[in-house]
Amino acid sequence: MAFIYALIGVWAILDPLLGALELGYPSFLNAVGLSITSPLGYSEIAGLYGGLNLCLGIMCLVGIFKRNIGIFSIKFITFLVGSIAFGRVIFSMLPTTPGFYNPYFVFEVIAFFVGITLIYLQKKLN
């Protein structure tokens, strides 16, 4: 999780620069289906996608070495991905909205159940 979240964060933060340099890297914005309509949009992508994911990755990395932070990280990410998946399902129930099933949803559901399992096993071992 440390690697995945940190990589997503760096990708989101650097996406405008990588796009301007035309180095052939895949676009973060295209991958998540977003487009920027004003300069504020770049800040929002960097903050919400970049900063949040980068800090989640750092938190998970620190959690490898600090047990209490690791346990908190698992609980936080489990809550976070579960909430995002739940929001996708709720949105899909509104009339004329697209479905919720996509690769991100699959990742969120898997991460949620892995997190629930880890939380359960951690409580059982203590």
Share of the chain above pLDDT 90, in %: 54
pLDDT per residue over 58-85, tens digit each?
999 999 999 999 999 999 999 999 999 9
pLDDT per residue over 18-30, tens digit each?
877 888 888 999 9
For every residue of the chain, DSSP letters joined together read -HHHHHHHHHHHHHHHHHHHHT--PPPHHHHHT----SHHHHHHIIIIIIIHHHHHHHHHHHHHH-HHHHHHHHHHHHHHHHHHHHHHHHHHTSTTPPP--SHHHHHHHHHHHHHHHHHHHHHHH-
Q: What is the reported pTM? A: 0.82
